[in-house]
Amino acid sequence: MNIIANENVFEPIIEFLRSEGHNVISVRNSSLSGASDDKIYEMAVKDKLVILTMDKDFSRITRFPPDRCNGIIVVKLYRMTVDKTTELFKQLFNSLDKKKVDGQLVIMTRNGVRVRVTRT
């Protein structure tokens, strides 16, 4: 999976995804640092990337249609340590059918993973 990780995604999550063989562009460690959500979305559309973020704004599908990029994963794991968040993210990500991410909105919470189908 080709992923663009927003600035708010913890580094251990990015490292985990890379160790699993995913190509991850870290906004924080690139020329996109400080870029607007719109700029990140434009890049994801242009380069067919999955957006990985902890920013709830990306769950607004009328503003950021996930079917224009390769999907959006919104991680809503808040008020936990980085270590606990990373561990839970790993479990949730490993339970995810990666084929269902393509063009869809995926929400990760403490209760599990929801895929909002935005196209058939």
Fold of 2-116: Rossmann fold (3.40.50)
Alpha helices (H) in the chain, listed in sequence order: 11-19, 37-47, 82-95
Interstrand relation of 72-75 and 2-5 (parallel, antiparallel or unpaired)? unpaired
CA distance 65 to 11: 26
Q: Which residues contact 106 (CB under 8 A, 6 or more apart)?
A: 71, 72, 73, 74, 96, 100, 113, 114, 115, 116
Give this prediction's pTM: 0.93
Q: What is the pLDDT along the chain (120 residues), one digit of tens a residue?
A: 999 999 999 999 999 999 999 999 999 988 888 899 999 999 999 999 999 999 999 999 999 999 999 999 999 999 999 999 999 999 999 999 888 899 999 999 999 999 987 654
